[in-house]
Structure formats: C-alpha cells, structure tokens
Structure 1
C-alpha cells in the first residue's frame, strides 16, 4: 500500500488508516496532490488548500456537526479521511498506480472522494472502480475544456492515443468506460480541430458521449438536462474547477474567460445526482503556489471547498437513504 499522511482532515472528519476504513463508511476523502500530468505547477497543492480552507466550516464548535440548511443534518459522521497519498520521487505512471491501489483497497460501498491534483487523477480512480464493479457507470465531467485528443486530425483519422496528459485524459477515460458513457457539462462553446477533420467532429463526439456546452439550453432546463443524462444510473463525477468563471476561480492553470457561476455548478450537480447514484468523485485543477495567502487564492479555495463539500454531502445522503 502506498504511504499516506494526514495533517489536516477535511472539514474535521474522522481520520483512519487506509486499511481501517469501516465497511459501512459512506465516503473516504483521499488527497492526490500532483502536477505530473500538467504543464503547470500548483495543482500538487490542491489538497493542502482545500483541507486548510475547510476549517471555515468547523470553527467555533468543540465537536462540529455540519448542517445543510436545505435538507437538515448532513450525516458526515459516516465519512472518513484517509489522508494524502505521498508521491515523492514518482513519475506519472507510478503516481497513478499508487492512487489506483489506494482506491482499490476501499470497501466496495465506500465512495472515493478525491482532492486533486491535475486532471490525470481521474483516470486511476475510474480504473480502480471499473475493475471492481459489476455494473457500468457514466462519467459526468464538469470542465471548461473537453480534454479529448482532437489534434492531428483525430476526429477523422485513426490516430494512436498519446500518453496521458491533462489535455487528453478524458479520451483515456472514454477508452476505458466505452462509447457514449461520458457527459461533458459546461465546456467552452467552441473547439478547434484541423480543418480537414472538422466535418467528422460531430460523429467523433457522439461516439464519446454527449456535450452540453456553456450555451446549451439544457443547462437552464432541469427536465431537458435529466433527459440528456438519463435516470437510475450509476455516476462518477469529475469536476475540473476551471469550469467556473475566472471571476470566481482564477486559481487554476487555465482560467475560463466565460464559465459557470458557483451557484450554477452546485445546482447542476444536484440535477445530476437527484435520480442517479454517485459511485465516486474528484475535484481537480485547483492550482496555486504553496505559499500563496492572498485574498483571491483563499476565496477561490473556499469556493472549491464548497463544491467538494456539496459532493460529499450527496455521497453521505445517498448512503443514509440506502441504510
């Protein structure tokens, strides 16, 4: 088992060793802080910032219990924190294998709640879940970018898959889960490909799944959104935090000039999970220097914490409803 370390538990959760996660744990928080699959540094500090800013939800109480004002008490006591995976000296492939081992060791019903790290974090988590599950699942990606391999004429040519990087990670994920199992939400309304392959882009994207870009009417219509995703399915949810508009999230490698608002993102997460079952999630691409303490970085981290906590709440609520 790879080494893990816990300095600050997310939102005051109970900390346990990776091999001691209770079989009835609703979710297990795992920090996966590396930038090995990115051209930018800073994403390795994501777990530090989210863990530290999560203290805003626990101050002033000897034994804090976080309450969601809409649905009552959040049963976070059934979630645990197993710490941050230590990737010292590892190459990307080794880091991904280490993370996959940690996820594979979790109890079968425990939702992995992963704090990245760059977006390549998603692949080993999905791989570990895919290997141990009997039912397939749909991957829902909130992102400003497609993160699909579109270059070198890929939409119309049989182009070999490049090694994984944060710009093609969802092509690798799609290769794993199969065609039409990826829903990409909030992506930029335009994509660039080689001109001689542009006519093939629609078919290429349809083979991957469904895209609901920033201007898609489904993002304002819950029933249309529900129809695009379907109901009664298992869902893995990955949030690249650059799906948020630069005005509320500039602490990331590629801030969005036009993106979702925080409330929009939380509402869309609710639409995804209202009639579907969450099997795992990650939040990736929060990126800042380790010594950043400016107001913008801290505010951005606070918003990222809110999104992560919202997902954790869903995992715990769904576990409580099944109990």
Structure 2
C-alpha cells in the first residue's frame, strides 16, 4: 500500500464508537459496561479492550475479589469522556470496548491460569491492548505470559502494599502472593526494569527483601512517595523503564485503607488515590502495552470508595493505552 492509499484507508476508517451520552440517558440506566462503552462484539475491532477476570481462588485472607469486575464497572458509570489532566478524550482517539469477563474455573487454579492466558492471547492477537479488572493478583501471571508472547520480556511497574514475590503458601506455587516470582523464574520479565511502588507493612523476614532484590526489583515504598514526592518518583521510574515495553499492575491495596477499604489484605500507611493517579499520569509517552487493576472486594467497600478509586485508575490506564495507540498510527 502506497502513502496515498494508506491515507485514504485512514480517512475511510469510521470514527470510534464512544460511550452512551449521559445527557440523553441517565448514568444509572442501561447496561453497565465499563464507562458505558460499547461491547467488543458491537465494534469491528478495538485498540483497547477492558476485560474482567472474576477469579479470587488465590487469595490468602479475605475473599470477594471475584465480584470486582462488576463492582468497578458499576462505579465507572460516573466517568466522563474528556480527561482534563491528560488533555485527551481517550474514547475519541481510539476504539475502546468492553470485552466482558473471562470465565474461569474457580476450583482449579492451574486450569484458571491456563484459561486466562489463552483468552488474553486471543484478545490481543490483532494488536488490541488489554486493561484487565480482577479478580485477585494471581491473574497477573497469565496476563504477563500473554504480553511476553507478543512483546518478549516486559518491564513491570507493580503498585502494591505487598511484594508478591513469595515462593509458596501452604505448598501452593500459584497464589496472589507469588505471581512475580513465578514470572521472573519463567523469564517473561525484563529484570533490568522491575519496580514495586507503594510497598509497606510487616514481612515474614528480611529474606523477603533479599529474595526480591535478587530477582531484580527496585522498591519505592509508600513512605518514599510521601517524602520524595510524585515528580521525583516518576522521574526515577521513567529512567529505569526507558523505551522498554511496560506492563502496569495495580493492586488496589496500594492505597491506604482510608482510600480503598474494599480489599482483601489492607495495610495501614498507604498512598492516597491522588498520588497513585498522578504517578500513572506521569507515564505518558512510555511504551505501556498492558495493565491490570486487581483485588477490589466489594463486600468490604462501604460507600463504594474502592470501586470509584479503581474505576478512575482503570480510566487512566485506558487513557495511556489509547494515547499509545494513537501515537503508533
């Protein structure tokens, strides 16, 4: 195809199908897709797909994250189509759609992981990027496997109160506390560019930190964010990431329980929702290739505080991927 034909092809492509107009249909009416966007089967293809994984069989404390995708979608009804902080209308510059949920076996973690990986590979086969709503953090491993299948070893920024690089729980290798240890062992991560952000709280022992360092992770604690500030943290992370393909994994318990009570393993002393969103917005221009938001447990979420926070996190992740899709055209 020559340049003139390519230009004609671009101009003939229909504009993206956006969300339901809230000035014509109240936000509390109609199907609860993410941000009231079209379903994936209602558009020819998507640049960015939001997909749910209602799975929480890997949790070690309070269950309930299997209801996270539905909860976040309901909270996302309040989202609006223009993002002033990033000066972008993500649903206008890229086709974003809701891909529904990946149905997984709640009684067999190994089978569930295989199902998630296969579904993610299928959804991204035509170049679509995923923002996945969990579910517990076990799901990050198969999502990273799928990302690796397309992009090779990927850099990782992991927002979490916890390291999630432990070896086993009760002899089980696959839980919500082990995905990133397994990912390093499988060679699917770029060990020159791995970062935890927001970690805090007690550990089982100093060896936890020693193992984590050996895997290649750098740590930005929640105290570092408080004392150093968002801009300095963003600068350091951007230097570490460079132009590598980057996967962003957000455990909502990275936020203080005051900002996200609806999660399974809360820890005091966390980041504010404002800090988290500002760090994410600092990643504009990076080669972000996929993302997830996990561990939202609505049973503990009074006044929908956690659902609102998670929906805004997902919106910022969608915006980053939409901007990347536009830039790559």
Give the match's secondary structure for 2:219. strand
Classify the secondary structure of the residue corresponding to 1:167: coil
- Separation of aligned partners in 2, 1:234 and 1:320: 16
* C-alpha contact (below 8 Å) 1:189/1:215 kept by paired residues: no
Equivalent position to 2:290, from 265, 276, 280:
280
Q: Note closer, same or farther for the CA distance 1:88–1:267 as it changes in structure 2 (3 Å cut).
A: same
Tell me how far apart the structure 2 counterparts of residues 235 and 76 of structure 1 sit (CA, whole Å): 22
Is 1:30 the counterpart of 2:48? The answer is no
RMSD: 2.7
CA contact (8 A) 2:40 2:49 kept: no
How far apart are the structure 1 equivalents of 2:129 and 2:287? 10
SS of residue paired to 2:165: coil
Q: Does 1:54 align with 2:95?
A: no
Alpha carbons 1:219, 1:268 under 8 Å: kept:
no
Instruction: Look up the SS of the partner of 1:282 in the other structure.
Output: strand
Matches within 5 A, 1:148-227: 148-149=165-166, 162-176=172-186, 177-178=188-189, 179-188=191-200, 191-193=203-205, 197=207, 201-202=209-210, 204-216=212-224, 219-220=229-230, 221-222=232-233, 224-226=235-237
Partner of 1:320: 326
Match of 1:14 among 24, 38, 59: 38
* 2:302 paired with 1:268: no
Residue 162 of structure 2: SS of its match in structure 1? coil
User: Normalising by the residue count of structure 2, what TM-score does the alignment of the two structures yield?
Assistant: 0.79
2:256 aligned partner: 245
1:97 aligns to what SS in structure 2? helix
Instruction: Look up the match of 1:68.
Output: 83
Distance 2:168 2:53 in 1: 28
In structure 2, do the counterparts of structure 1 residues 321 and 185 end up closer, same or farther at CA, with 3 Å as the change threshold?
same
Mark the CA change 1:251 to 1:231 in structure 2 (over 3 Å): closer, same or farther. Answer: same
Q: Find the aligned partners of 2:106 and 2:154 in 1 and give their Cα distance.
A: 33
- Rounded Cα–Cα distance in structure 2 between residues aligned with 1:128 and 1:88: 19
Which range moved further: 141-150 or 277-286? 141-150
Unpaired runs of 5+ residues, structure 1, are 1-6, 59-65, 153-160
**Relative to 1, partners in 2 of residues 1:21 and 1:237: Cα closer, same or farther, differing over 3 Å?**
farther
In structure 2, the partner of 1:145 is 162
Q: CA deviation at 1:163?
A: 1.2
User: Normalising by the residue count of structure 1, what TM-score does the alignment of the two structures yield?
Assistant: 0.81
- Cα displacement string for residues 222-257 of structure 1 (whole angstroms, at most 9, x for unaligned residues): 565246523212100000000001111110011121
Following superposition, the deviation at residue 181 of structure 1 comes to 4.0
Partner residue in 1 for 2:17: none
Q: Deviations over 1:108-159 (max 9, x none)?
A: 42111100000001011111111233x432011000000111689xxxxxxx
Q: How does 1:63-142 map to 2 (within 5 A)?
A: 66-77=81-92, 78-87=95-104, 90-106=107-123, 107-133=125-151, 135-142=152-159
User: What's the counterpart of residue 25 of structure 2?
Assistant: none
Mapped partners of 1:145, 1:223: distance in 2: 20
Displacement after TM superposition at 1:270 (Å): 2.3
Selected match of 1:236 from 241, 244, 247: 247
